[in-house]
Amino acid sequence: MTASRPSSTAEELRGAGLRATAARVALLETVRQGGHLGVETIASEVRRRIGHVSLQAVYEALNALTGAGLVRRIAPAGGPARYEGRVGDNHHHLVCRTCGVVADVDCAVGDAPCLTASGGHGFVIDEAEVVYWGLCPGCSTSRST
């Protein structure tokens, strides 16, 4: 761990201006270890780790962590919101049309925000969100057989 990085999840939460509750610590660690998780999966894992926590508390903590830039919320069209711990690099996502699995894909072109809009309408663009849709290897194999 580098000297500039907090030594614990609790310290990282406090450094972001958030209270370091047991639920927030468990939630942040769960999201960072889990890939692209839905709220129900996150809530189940947090409950497994610390005991009862309401779904409302999970939503509130996810909103706080997202607002602090500690987790990223992605919401592919037609599917539930998912949360991931990979933040700050403006990566994009692949989504399977059949099973809904989500995978990360690095920036399409160059540095963040990765893509230059053809017409910026006066906006100062700091992020681009790209979702590639298709079939994952498992679904494309099952479809061809």
Number of domains in the chain: 2
> For residue 11, what pLDDT is reported?
95
3-class DSSP string for the chain: CCCCCCCCHHHHHHHCCCCCCHHHHHHHHHHHHHCCEEHHHHHHHHHHHHCCCCHHHHHHHHHHHHHCCCCEEECCCCCCCEEECCCCCCCEEEEECCCCCEEEECCCCCCCCCCCCCCCCCCCCCCCCCEEEECCHHHHHHHHC
**Sequential pLDDT tens for the chain (145 residues):** 344 444 699 999 999 999 999 999 999 999 999 889 999 999 999 999 999 999 999 999 999 999 999 999 999 888 889 999 999 887 889 999 999 899 998 876 655 556 667 777 888 877 778 888 999 999 988 776 5
Pair 61, 110 in one domain? no
Pair 69, 28 in one domain? yes
The CATH number assigned to the domain holding 92 equals 3.30.1490.190
What is this structure's pTM?
Answer: 0.81
Domain span at residue 53 reads 9-74
Pair 70, 13 in one domain? yes
Pair 59, 100 in one domain? no
Pair 13, 70 in one domain? yes
Answer with the one of 50, 74, 98 that is the final residue of a domain: 74
> For residue 43, what pLDDT is reported?
97
